[in-house]
Amino acid sequence: MEVSEISQRSMNIRNVYHQFEESLHGSKWSIEEDALAYLTDAGLVGRLTMDQEQRWPAGNQARHELGQKLAENIWWLHVLSERMEFDLEAELIEFLEEKEKMVP
């Protein structure tokens, strides 16, 4: 799947959530609220990783949850980059090219 398709699908889903937020609170979440939600999910990746490494008991579904949280974090990054008007694919390519120059 292309990065642009992932971004578009991510925003389609996020827009449905925005409608839900507006019905609950009268406004959609701000970019800052989206970033905080992303950070919460990133923290859960850490906790579920600890469970996978047998360093923290998270329960029977932890491996499945970890895979889903990893995917959700990617989803959030697409949402955040779109909302902040970054071309995530271009940024990723630039990042990788810079890192590749640093390693033998």
pTM score, two decimals?
0.89
Give the Cα separation of 53 and 50 in Å (integer): 5
Give the Cα separation of 62 and 53 in Å (integer): 11
Give tens-digit pLDDT for 44-85. Answer: 999 999 999 989 887 777 888 999 999 999 999 999 999 999
pLDDT at 58: 74
Q: Are 37 and 29 in contact (CB under 8 A)?
A: yes
Give tens-digit pLDDT for 2-21. Answer: 899 999 999 999 999 999 99
Q: Is the pLDDT of residue 100 over 90?
A: yes
pLDDT at 62: 82
What dotted CATH number matches 3-102? 1.10.287
The residue extents of the domains of the chain are: 3-102
